[in-house]
Structure 1
Amino acid sequence: MRKVDPELHAAKREAILDAAADLFGRNGYDATRTADICRAAGMSTGNMFHYFPTKRAVLLAVAERDGQRTAAALAGIAEATDIRAALLDTLEAVCHIAADRTAAGLQLEISAEAQRDPELAELFRTGDRGLRAAFETALAAGIGSGAFDSALDPARTATWLAALVDGVFARVAADPEFDPVRETPTLHHLAAALLPRPGTVGI
């Protein structure tokens, strides 16, 4: 039996996921055929089945990888020297991601398919819990360091920050003229209202 090169195997697997993510984001999950993914990844259908048995398995892997990348991007916010700036920078990064309409389309496709697929739904919920947990941890750390008002509720505020993130992608899908990068200053103002400095709650 021929020995599998782990690096080559990982590279081909990533190529499949990259191709699928692009196609799902541009054309939608249902409209994308396995043959389309294989063509975009530069391999035969038979070869792809060595990595993923079905198109659904590819979608699950795309969603799992997306969640892992999000978790990695959020890691360390709570340890930032300026937590307020770190949170605003994170929201700004979201705007830049959402400006890529293929990336935005992928997020909405995962969300839509999660309504029909329990396993995908669990991956989707796991990613959402991770996002809110990272925000909550950062907010709690900010309260502890005196960056935010102590009356702030970290869990509820984290949920609203997550809602802002979700809303950026939904708005891109609903409004072709919406430019999330151009609207970043407004997002900063909205987020700043959710992140009151000490002694400003209720003023």
Structure 2
Amino acid sequence: MARTVDPEKHEARRLVIIDAALTCFAATGYAGTSTAAICRQAGIGSGTFFHYFPTKQSLLLAILAYGTDETRDWFAARAADADPLAVVEAYLDHTAEEMSDPRMAGFVRAVSAVMGEPEVEVALALDSRVLQDGLEPWIARAQVAGQVRTDLTARDLTAWVLVVLDGFLGRLAVDTDFTAEDQQGTLRDVVRRVLAA
């Protein structure tokens, strides 16, 4: 008889492995992280690891998918009648808070090392699309409300906000003196200036 799987326990164990991998990838990079190191960090055996993730890359892709789902859920949870510019700024704060996790800079470096892998490129493109689809309607609403400039399309303005966010993440990955906590206010200021009417 097949064993029944408790979905909550299954997801909890999966998240423990993801958290351990995030720690390992941040510390030693993608190539420098072995599945054995992830198992040690998670306190599990290799059989458990491979039950959840067939390869190290599938685990990295799961971390990226988790972030993409979190972004989609974040925007879906915004009230339809919310102040559009406040939603955009709240997302910037949300991003800065996420990037305050000391492991995130190392994780960004780990991902950049495997960006040429086709499956990683697909995952990153999906993440970018979800973020674009999340931000663009709010920027369009902010244009209608007269809160942001209208000389560019909402799509172009969203693209510029993404350029700023990508630069922010990239700088965090290479400059230990550039921290999310210290730069959060400047991030908001730069995006406000990009969007300013």
TM over 0.5: yes
Q: Is the 8 A contact 1:23 1:37 kept in 2?
A: yes
Which residue is 2:158 aligned to? 158
Aligned partner of residue 152 in structure 2, secondary structure: coil
1:78-97 equivalence runs, <5 A = 79=80, 81-97=82-98
1:5–1:176 CA distance, 2 compared to 1 (3 A): same
Q: Is the 8 A contact 1:22 1:102 kept in 2?
A: yes
Q: Is the 8 A contact 1:77 1:134 kept in 2?
A: no
Q: What is the Cα-based RMSD across aligned positions, in Å? A: 1.9
1:76–1:111 CA distance, 2 compared to 1 (3 A): farther
1:147–1:136 CA distance, 2 compared to 1 (3 A): same
Q: Is the 8 A contact 1:38 1:48 kept in 2?
A: yes
Q: Displacement of 1:145 after TM fit? A: 2.8
1:40-189 equivalence runs, <5 A = 40-77=41-78, 79=80, 81-115=82-116, 117-189=117-189
For residues 148-193 of structure 1, what are the alpha-carbon distances to aligned partners after superposition, in whole Å with 9 as ceiling and x for unaligned?
Answer: 3333321111111111111111111221111232223322221111
Aligned partner of residue 149 in structure 1, secondary structure: coil
Which residue is 2:39 aligned to? 38
Aligned partner of residue 101 in structure 1, secondary structure: coil
Which residue is 1:200 aligned to? none
1:92–1:10 CA distance, 2 compared to 1 (3 A): closer
1:100–1:92 CA distance, 2 compared to 1 (3 A): same
Q: Is the 8 A contact 2:99 2:105 kept in 1?
A: yes
1:38–1:98 CA distance, 2 compared to 1 (3 A): same
Q: Is the 8 A contact 1:98 1:168 kept in 2?
A: no
Taking only the aligned residue pairs, the percentage that are identical comes to: 33
Gaps of 5+ in 2: none
1:71–1:112 CA distance, 2 compared to 1 (3 A): farther
Q: Is the 8 A contact 1:95 1:184 kept in 2?
A: yes
Gaps of 5+ in 1: 198-203
TM-score using structure 1 length? 0.87
Q: Is the 8 A contact 2:108 2:170 kept in 1?
A: no
| Residue 191 (structure 1) aligned with residue 195 (structure 2) | no
Aligned partner of residue 183 in structure 1, secondary structure: helix
TM-score using structure 2 length? 0.89
